[in-house]
A and B are shown apart, each in its own frame.
Chain A
C-alpha cells in the first residue's frame, strides 16, 4: 500500500474553492434557471451553493475511501451513532438520540489567557479559516477505533491569531457546561464538570492537531461535538474534546476531567501506545468498528513519524 496523505489526494485550493469553481462555470446560475423554469423557487438551492459550508444538507464526498494505511472509512451512520459524550449519557448508542436538536448556534469560543490578542470567535469567525479535509484514525481508550473524514483547520492557525505569550506552556480547552440542556450532568454528578482537556503548546502547534467543524463534508452533529471540537489523532479519543466554548493559554499543566476522575488511569498525555496498558485492560489491540477481527494498535496510532519527536527523551510509561 502506498503511503499517500489524504491532503495530497485532494489539492487543498481546489477542494476549498469548489463553490467558486462551480460559480465560475456558471453551473449555479444555470441550475437556478432550470429550477426556475420548472417552477421551483431557486432561492434555497442557489443560496446553499454560495453560502459558507454551513448547510448540513450539503455533502462533499470524502476524497478517498480509506486512510493512508488502507483502512476503510467508517460510515457516517456509525460515526454519528457510537459516541462517548458523557454530558448526554454514558451509553454510546443513545448519545445521538439525546443530542438531537441540541442548539449549537449561536456559539462563541473565547480564546484568552496568556495571549497578546484575546479574541472571542463566533461560528462565522471560525468558518473564515480555510477548511481542509483530514482523514484520521480515532482510537478510543476503550480499545475500539474508527476512520473518520474530518473537516477542519489546524489549531496552530487559531493560536497564531491570538499570539501566545512566551510564558504560555499549555493550552487548556473547555466544553460547554449546560446542566439544563444536557441530561448527563445531573445523572453523573461525580465528574468534575465542565469537561476539560489540555495540550502542551508544541503539541497544539503540530500540524496534525485540528479544530474540526465537520465530517463527511457536513457540519458536525451535536453528538460529534458540534459546532467545533478538537481532533488530536495520535492521542486517545477522550483528548479530542467536544463542543468547545473556551480555549486558554496557561503556564501550568491543566488537569483534565479524566485525570481528576482517575489519576492512576488517565494521564495528561494519553498518547496511543500499545506498550503501555490501561491499568485494567490491554491497549495492545483494538476492534475497528465495522470489522470482524482485532487489529494491533499502532504506536501513536500510526502517526509516529509526525509526532514522535515531541516526546524524545520522555518516559512514556511514566507520562502515560
Chain B
C-alpha cells in the first residue's frame, strides 16, 4: 500500500472511531436508552470518552518511539481535538443541564470542591491546546509551541485525578486509567525510552 493511501486510511479510521461514541450517545438519547439517571449517564460517558481519547493522543509519541511508527504522530492533533470536543460536551452537560445555570449552587457547592477545580483546569488546558493546534499558531509560537503542548501530559494527569476524586473509595475503574497514564509517562522518561527502544529494535 502506498504511504499516502495508508495515511488517509488511518486518518479516516481515527475520525470514524472518535465519532462513534458521540453517535452512540445520540442514538441512546433519542431512543431513551439511558437508565434511571440520564444526566449522570451522559456526564460519565462524555468524560470517559474524553479521557480515553486524551490517553490515545498521549500514546502516539511512545508508539513512534518504540515501533518507529511515524504515522501515529499525525494522529496526535485529531485525537486531542476530539478529546477537547467530548470534554466540552461534558462541561456543557454539567453546567447547563445538571446545574441548569444555577450559579449560586455552582458557586456554593462546586467552586470550592477540588474535583471541580481540577476538572475545570483540565478543560482550560485542553482549550488552550485546541486553540493553538493550528499550523499558524505552531509557526507563531516557534519553539514555545512544543513546550506549551507538553501540557497535554498535565491534562492527562489532572483528568485522572478528577475521576479518582469523584468516586467512592474502592471503586476501581479510575485506577485502570491511572495505570495506563503511568505507563505512558514512564515511556517518556529518557532512560526507559532508550532501553525499551533498543530492546524492540533487537527483535
Contacts and interface: CB of A to CB of B under 8 A. Distances in A.
Contacts of B35: 81-82, 93
Instruction: Place the interface of chain A in its size category.
Output: 20 to 34
Given A287-B37, A294-B98, 12 more contacts: A81-B35, A187-B172, A188-B172, A280-B115, A282-B105, A282-B108, A284-B105, A285-B105, A285-B109, A287-B40, A289-B37, A294-B100
A282 B113 contact: yes
Interface of A: 74, 77-78, 81-82, 86, 90, 93, 142, 144, 187-188, 190-191, 261-262, 265, 277, 280-282, 284-285, 287, 289-290, 292-294, 296
Contacts of A261: 168-170
A85 B68 CA distance: 47
B37 A281 contact: no
Interface of B: 35-37, 39-40, 97-100, 102, 105, 108-110, 113-115, 165-166, 168-172
A284 B114 contact: no
Counting from the closest, the 5 A-B pairs by CB-CB distance are: A282-B109, A82-B36, A78-B36, A284-B109, A262-B169
B99 A294 contact: yes
A280 B114 contact: yes
A290 B36 contact: yes
A90 B36 contact: no
Contacts of B105: 282, 284-285, 294, 296
B39 A287 contact: yes
Most chain A beta-carbon contacts within 10 A, residue among B36, B108, B171 = B36
Given A282-B108, A284-B109, A144 B40 contact: yes
A81 B35 CA distance: 8
Contacts of B108: 282, 284
Contact of B36 (A81, A188, A265, A292): A81
